Chains A and B, each alone.
Chain A
């Protein structure tokens, strides 16, 4: 039993010590695999359409000492988008709209963070800022600045964001006369990605 005691103590310490804290407290690169879901809203005069885009995945890389150096990509499969109406979903993924066959993913590429502010609340580190980068929808890429809130607790990371995209910026014309009447000219998007740091 005596010889087992140091082993048990070591095991207990290993379990108790959050490896994660060291990940974000160090000075190296931190890699985070994230996944999550988005909800979106089209608010047009004829109707409001609420939709989901589930199954977003991505990899984010940052420096523990300087999170403004965050880079990464997050992609969402167009095929996973839903509005609660099968026919509308089919149209949404069709060639008049997002054209899922030709452009199967919406990709957000992050090139850095601006206006970063950090604070610590208990054991949660919170960073707010604007993720700079590009978003590629319908095969068209556009520079974008997305306000984000990132939270880190141990090795767990959560990134929340809310932003808008204009359909015209991505050459999404839709069926004749639909944009601006049945479908909003801009779409509000909100989502949360979670993951673990390595």
Chain B
């Protein structure tokens, strides 16, 4: 049961790690704004923006709920295991 608790915590940490790696935004982002620089007829560098499909996990509507659940599950498993060991 301790191993299961540890796995839960590790998974929770992995979810938060993935959130951090994928931008660390507060909310999910389904598209990313990509800038393209071109030179226009006036000889100026012009930035044009376009949305491209690129999911970035957000915290509140993405990573936080599963990370919280996994942490909680890990804590419950750990406490149950601790009680069992004490009884034994």
Contacts and interface: CB of A to CB of B under 8 A. Distances in A.
A5 interface: no
A84 B33 contact: yes
B79 interface: no
A52 B34 CA distance: 11
A74 B56 CA distance: 34
Interface residues of B, number: 19
Contacts of B29: 84-85
Given A84-B29, A84-B32, A85-B27, A52 B51 contact: yes
A153 B41 contact: yes
A124 interface: yes
Interface residues of A, number: 20
Given A46-B26, A86-B30, A156 B41 contact: yes
B48 A52 contact: no
B27 A47 contact: yes
A122 B29 CA distance: 44
A124 B42 CA distance: 7
A158 B42 contact: yes
8 contacts: A37-B48, A84-B30, A85-B27, A86-B30, A88-B27, A158-B40, A182-B26, A192-B46
Interface of B: 25-33, 40-44, 46, 48-49, 51, 61
